[in-house]
């Protein structure tokens, strides 16, 4: 699949898109195994840990990743089906603050990620070249279906990297 062009997404998403290999479908599929394995390596005693005051806990980061995947997949579906309705943005902190991620079972959240991504993969794999090129507008910026695939994969990579670097710096902390 061709990489999205800069006119297919807001510059806000450039880091996510640039972090993803050209074979985005394979990367999305690989994340089905690698991301849950990574999460399962984290000590249950650490899942309510935040590395600084006002930062999300590990469970909240995972909850945010779940919310974002759902929202981006919804956008992707709307645009793939040629729905030209402008879509609103979302305030990630508002979503996390109004969820109850810290009270949820971490293993159930991992299972939820698997279910959400597995369901999304059916949609992602079914997209035609015409659908991949379709665009819509979300949060006052253009977005193509193709860019959304890269954003979904890159967003998850971004948060896994943050978890590794800021939450689990000492490898003994997550075993």
pLDDT digits 0-9 by tens, 69-81: 999 999 999 999 9
Q: How many domains does the chain have?
A: 1
Could you give the C-alpha distances from 145 to 29, 33, 86, 129, 168, in angstroms and in order?
A: 17, 24, 14, 10, 34
Q: Please, what is the average pLDDT of the chain? A: 95
Look up residue 127 and give its two tokens. 């997209």
Among 160, 158, 166, 127, smallest CA distance to 144 is for: 127
Find the CATH number of the domain harbouring 84: 1.20.120.450
Residues 23-65: pLDDT tens digits? 999 999 999 999 999 999 999 999 999 999 999 999 999 999 9
Is 162 among the domain residues?
yes
- 110 in a structural domain: yes
In a domain, 175, yes or no: no
Determine, yes or no, domain membership for 1: no
Per residue in 83-114, pLDDT tens? Answer: 989 999 999 999 999 999 999 999 999 999 99
Residue 111 lies in a domain: yes
Per the structure, the complete domain to which residue 16 belongs is given by 6-169
Query: Is residue 128 included in any domain, yes or no?
Result: yes
Distance separating alpha carbons of residues 80 and 78, to the nearest angstrom: 6
**163 vs 160: CA distance, rounded Å:** 5
Residue 174 placed within a domain = no
């Amino acid at each position: 699949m061709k990489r999205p062009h800069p006119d297919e997404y807001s510059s806000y998403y450039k880091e996510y898109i640039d972090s993803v290999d050209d074979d985005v479908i394979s990367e999305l599929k690989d994340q089905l195994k690698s991301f849950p394995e990574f999460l399962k390596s984290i000590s249950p005693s650490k899942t309510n840990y935040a590395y600084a005051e006002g930062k999300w806990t590990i469970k909240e980061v995972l909850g945010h990743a779940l919310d974002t995947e759902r929202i981006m997949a919804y956008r992707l579906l709307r645009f793939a089906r040629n729905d030209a309705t402008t879509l609103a943005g979302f305030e990630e902190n508002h979503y996390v603050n109004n969820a109850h991620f810290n009270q949820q079972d971490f293993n159930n959240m991992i299972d939820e990620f698997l279910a959400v991504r597995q369901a999304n993969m059916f949609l992602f794999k079914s997209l035609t070249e015409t659908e991949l090129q379709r665009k819509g507008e979300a949060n006052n910026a253009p977005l193509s279906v193709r860019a959304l695939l890269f954003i979904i994969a890159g967003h998850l990579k971004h948060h896994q990297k943050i978890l590794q670097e800021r939450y689990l710096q000492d490898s003994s902390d997550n075993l």
